[in-house]
Structure 1
Amino acid sequence: MTDDKGLRQLIEKSHLLGKRLNKNIYNRNGLLILPASSILTTESLKSLQEHGLKLDSTDVILPEFEPEQLVRLAIREMKEMFADIRAAGRVPVDKVCRTVLPAIMRISGRSDTYRILLTLEKQDEDTYKHSVGVGVMAGLLAKWLGLSVNERVRITLAGLLHDVGKLFVPQSILQKPGQLDEQEFCEVKRHARYGYDLLVREPGLDPVIALAALQHHEREDGSGYPAGLPGNRIEKVSKIVAVADVFHAMSSKRAYRNALPLFDVLQSIADHAYGMLDPGIVRCFVRHVTECTIGSRVDLSDGTQATVVMVHEADPCRPLVYGSGQFIDLRKRPGLKIGRLRDGGTVSV
């Protein structure tokens, strides 16, 4: 695996991803490395690093990729990566760190979380799209928890690889539109062990990343799988990935159901903050996700189009909204709730 210093350098350069060179770039021997007008990709950034070359803001033009472009790029790279894993029976960790990881870190480092949520909401569910979604949300959560850059990198990588074991579960089971029978569900649960066994063999890979694959379905009260571990025996990285996994799974379309509305998902996660998921991590996650929707347009369950005005600290999933010419406190309207987010970003009220 890329060493910590090299990986950090790649992540620090990821702000250049998607920008265009405004001049030719030569190595120390005068050989052309990248021509002017080249779009910077993860591979070209890696090449610059290998040649000991540095770029600054005067070397590039055009804005960086939008979140939608970065998510599509990461999904495409992840799809290719999963094909490589199926073919070789191992995880090309260095390639993940050169291609997918910098894009995901760039997304989770952005401030426009609302646009990120909208982008992820539009992606249909399958294993590689889910892996990208969990990587993004785990990276965001690590940032909100105030963790270091190195910790954020580890957690993002753990999120990306948490479900790699599903590659060895029959697609007929994963894509079954109806309820799984007991034997099928037992096979699905084995993906945690399959992923761990695959990742733990990778030389130089941080062991907590393999443990996240093994433990992301463990629960604080010991009701999870595969080992039924209590909370004090679950790694913190695994707990963070678990929250990101539950969130993205519930907010994504599945073979057997449609995606659930954002605020329904957050309410469900908040309801499980004591017992199944780590309460401190859940509180941090729910607070930040709901706060990022302030000023955003939403549809209420009665069809009213409204704007989120304020999030209540004690009940963040039922905010104050403005619609049909009036303020509506959803805490006082138990029969009314927020449905879908609407495109168009945020507005002032």
Structure 2
Amino acid sequence: MSEFVRIAPGALTIGRPLPWDVHDTDGKVLLCQGYVIQTESQLEQLFERGYFKPRVIEVLPEDDDAASNEADGNPFARYPDYLHALEKALASIAAGNPEARKQLQDLAQALEQACALAPDSSLALVHLYSVGPTIHEQIIFYAILCQLIAHQFGLNEQRTKILTEAALSANLALVPVADKLNAFNKVLSDEQRSVIRKHPQRSIRALRAVGVENKLLLTIIAQHHEQADGSGYPAGLSGADIRPEAEILALAERYVAMITKRAYRNRMNVTAARKLIANLADGGLRPAIPKALLRVLGEYPPGTLVRLENNEVGVITGRPVRASGPFVHVVFDSAGERYEVPQQRDTNVPDFNILALEEPDMMPSMNFSQIWGFSGSPKIP
């Protein structure tokens, strides 16, 4: 059991999918990723009995034939690895470890591979875990969205790579306080506002202390809270003085904030979030950037729950391809009974047209790897 770590209180939440498989003391899987904890007693039992297995991120060799197989880039299976690698990299930066940049680059490359090999599954991660994500989860979401937006926007490979590293490190200075701020339901104090406004400069100082001097990376971080009209911070830049990479990161953060529940407000559904993004496309500095995000998302992004015309409920697994509508794997039949094996539906077929978004108070348990067609997945209890 030396490779397993006990689950710490506070690591899991009622109503959210498990981010990793939970094991017992013998290493046997008790609950698989995607299972949703329903009660306080279940939560207490997991804290008493549960272990998980942190792993080191391994980047697939570019010349490996397996790298062309989407199943080998399963972002659901690698999600706990991403989180573990991010925590380790940010802790290394904060500690002044000169190996930190390499850790950051390895994680950025792993996320790049996931988005290239399995873009729908990577986008689904953002939506499946968006109910109440930790700061580390949010940062992973920013990096995924930056990858997908940058590709759609037409950013070249090298600039996209640097943008992803910036997305992973821009909020380094906020990590110690972000979860508390998100859970805070009162007006922020002057001290709290100061921490927020100064985090770009503080993150840059920490990166420079470990030898990071890439001008583009540091500029993206410095500018990702600037606004086209000059009302942003820290420098009050406006217009074309703001790099497009910084705008992409700002938009990724903004979208995640829209669809994420906070103590002081409910989360926004995808339809409402898309309307706000469309408004940005009408009046922003570079309309092509929010338009790129709208194309990435589609009307119903992967990972969102929908009800079909025949009253089945399922999860969007793929964006439209040619004459097909978005693909759905239905989890519940028209009577509300769970399918033993989720059934795929093409929403262009009349009986399977999408009727409405589903926004349950508690996410249903799902085996993400199985639904998205990745092999070797344990069954949801």
TM-score band by shorter chain is 0.5 to 0.7
Distance 2:160 2:232 in 1: 25
Q: What SS does structure 1 have at the residue aligned with 2:186?
A: coil
Task: Please state if 1:232 is matched with 2:240.
Answer: yes
Per the TM alignment, residue 238 of structure 1 is displaced from its structure 2 partner at its CA by 0.6
Kindly tell me the number of residue pairs found equivalent between the two proteins.
Answer: 280
- Any idea what the Cα deviations from partners look like across 1:140-175, whole Å, max 9, x if unmatched? 111112232222211211211121121465865454
How far apart are the structure 2 equivalents of 1:246 and 1:64? 31
8 A Cα contact 1:220 1:276, kept in partner: yes
Q: Residues 254, 212 of structure 1: CA spacing in aligned structure 2 closer, same or farther, 3 A cutoff?
A: farther
Aligned twin of 2:204: 196
Question: Aligned to 2:112, which of 105, 109, 121?
Answer: 105
Query: What is the match of residue 117 of structure 1?
Result: 123
Could you tell me how far apart the structure 2 residues matched to 1:214 and 1:273 are? 23
- Residues 155 and 209, structure 1, Cα contact 8 Å, conserved in 2: yes
CA distance in 2, matches of 1:126, 1:307: 23
Q: Are residues 41 and 151 of structure 1, via their aligned partners in 2, closer, same or farther at CA, if it must alter by over 3 Å?
A: same
Q: Deviations over 1:68-116 (max 9, x none)?
A: 1222211111122223333338781112213x12221112213542x33
Q: C-alpha distance in 2, partners of 1:117/1:58?
A: 22
Tell me which of 215, 220, 228 is aligned to 1:207: 215
Name the residue aligned to 1:268. Answer: 276
TM-score normalised by length of structure 2: 0.61
| Structure 2 match to 1:176 | 184
Q: Supply the distance in 2 between the matched residues of 1:104 and 1:59 (Cα, whole angstroms).
A: 13
CA distance in 2, matches of 1:59, 1:275: 40
Preserved contact between residue 169 and residue 191 of structure 1 (Cα < 8 Å): no
AA matched with 1:66: N
Please give the secondary structure, in 2, of the residue aligned with 1:273: helix
Question: Distance between the aligned counterparts of 2:313 and 2:178, measured in 1?
Answer: 42
User: CA distance change for structure 1 residues 325 and 237 in 2, over 3 Å: closer, same or farther?
Assistant: same
Deviates more, 1:167-176 or 1:222-231: 167-176
Amino acid corresponding to residue 122 of structure 1 in structure 2: L
Q: Deviations over 1:291-329 (max 9, x none)?
A: 6749986249xx996999989xxxxxxxxx87995968x
Alignment partner of 2:258 out of 230, 234, 250: 250
Confirm or deny: 8 A CA contact 2:57 2:82 kept in the other structure.
no
Q: Is the partner of 2:306 in helix, strand or coil?
A: strand
Q: Which residue in the other structure is 2:28 paired with?
A: none
- Give, in angstroms, the shift of residue 55 of structure 1: 6.1
Equivalent of 1:133 in 127, 141, 162: 141
Q: Is the contact between residue 174 and residue 188 of structure 1 (CA under 8 Å) also seen in structure 2?
A: no
Once the two structures are superposed, residues 230-264 of structure 1 have per-residue CA deviations (whole angstroms, 9 ceiling, x without a partner) of 12111121111111111122223334344322222
Letter aligned with residue 121 of structure 1: H
Task: Find the counterpart in structure 1 of residue 102 from structure 2.
Answer: 94
- Per-residue Cα deviation, 1:268-300 (whole angstroms, up to 9, x for no partner): 222223445631100111123116749986249
Q: Report the TM-score, using the length of structure 1 for normalisation.
A: 0.65
Q: Select which of 184, 188, 194 maps to 1:186.
A: 194
Q: Which residue of 59, 75, 90 corresponds with 1:82?
A: 90
Distance 1:199 1:295, change over 3 A: closer
Distance (Å, rounded) in 1 between the aligned partners of 2:246 and 2:67? 40
SS at match of 1:271: helix
Asked if 1:221 is matched to 2:235, the reply is no
Percent of pairs with identical residues: 22
| Change over 3 Å in CA distance of 1:198–1:61 after alignment to 2 | closer
Superposed counterparts of 1:40-55, under 5 Å:
42=57
Q: Say whether the 8 Å CA contact 2:109–2:161 is kept in structure 1.
A: no
* Equivalent residue letter for 2:93: I
Q: Say which of 156, 179, 186 aligns to 2:164.
A: 156
Q: For residue 185 of structure 1, report the CA deviation from its aligned partner.
A: 1.9
**2-structure distance, mates of 1:274, 1:190:** 30
RMSD: 4.1
Alignment of 1:280-295 (within 5 A): 280-290=288-298, 293=301
